[in-house]
Amino acid sequence: MIYFDKVSKWYSGGNSVAIEDITFQVAPHEFVSIVGHSGAGKSTLLKLLIAEDKPSEGTVFYESIDIHKIPRGKLPKYRRKIGTVFQDFKLLPHKTAFENIAFAMEANGRTDEEITENVPQALALVDLEDKIFNFPHELSGGEKQRVAIARAIVNQPDIIIADEPTGNLDPIATYEVVQILKKINDLGTTVIMTTHNKGVIDELGRRVLTMDSGKIVRDDASGKYVL
């Protein structure tokens, strides 16, 4: 599904190397965690995957498509295949949980009927049916992240990218978010997650890519985080 082929990215005329000669693939329905210290290159990989940035060398494929050759006008169609979850939630503060999720569907051109049907289903999947009309300030950190996950999945993307999704959460909320991501993966969605949290990796027991200084130094299918 996703293939990075000898991908490098540098800035400032080559003086600052973000990632170097990265090659790996992610199969459909896989759950992959990308780990490493701050500055290891994790965020750069995600930016390249969503075509927010272009590689200096190498190619990033989605299925058989070189995503950095997709015409600008067709990039939104590609990005609709990807749902993104952020560490800081990025919820709209003056919209309810329902409205935050509905906004993502509206941006995707979905009908009012689809929104009315699908938003409650997405909230049910993250166990927040009872918070449908709550505003972000009325939710805990874990609940905000679960609304953000519901927003990411409501358009039924092929891939979920979760960038440090538990970074601002306490251990109980972290556990709940990890279980939901596992459930989404079990339902058939590919999940790619960055994290610093060894406990999360141990809980998942799924494939781990370990990065250091812009390179993949370990690819472990058994789910071990070793640096």
3-state SS, 60-128, equals EEECCEEHHHCCHHHHHHHHCCEEEECCCCCCCCCCCHHHHHHHHHHHCCCCHHHHHHHHHHHHHHCCC
- DSSP-derived letter for residue 50 is T
At residue 202, the pLDDT reads 86
Task: Say yes or no to pLDDT of 199 above 90.
Answer: no
At residue 142, the pLDDT reads 96
At residue 225, the pLDDT reads 64
Q: In the structure, what pLDDT confidence band is assigned to residue 12 with cuts at 50, 70 and 90?
A: confident
At residue 38, the pLDDT reads 83
Cα gap 183→180, rounded to integer Å? 5
Give 3-state DSSP helix, strand, coil % of the chain, rounded to 5. 40, 25, 35
Average pLDDT in the 131-137 region?
97
Side chain identity, residue 33: S
At residue 224, the pLDDT reads 67
pLDDT tens across 143-169, in order? 999 999 999 999 999 999 999 999 999
At residue 16, the pLDDT reads 85
Cα gap 8→14, rounded to integer Å? 10
- Name the average pLDDT for the chain: 93
At residue 205, the pLDDT reads 87
pLDDT tens across 53-94, in order? 999 999 999 999 999 999 999 998 999 999 999 999 999 999
More confident residue, 178 or 15: 178
Cα gap 193→173, rounded to integer Å? 16
At residue 47, the pLDDT reads 92
pLDDT tens across 187-198, in order? 999 999 999 888
Task: Say yes or no to pLDDT of 14 above 80.
Answer: no
pTM reported for the whole predicted model: 0.93
Angle between helices 97-107 and 141-153 (to 10 degrees): 30
More confident residue, 67 or 221: 67
Task: Say yes or no to pLDDT of 28 above 60.
Answer: yes
At residue 226, the pLDDT reads 61
At residue 198, the pLDDT reads 85
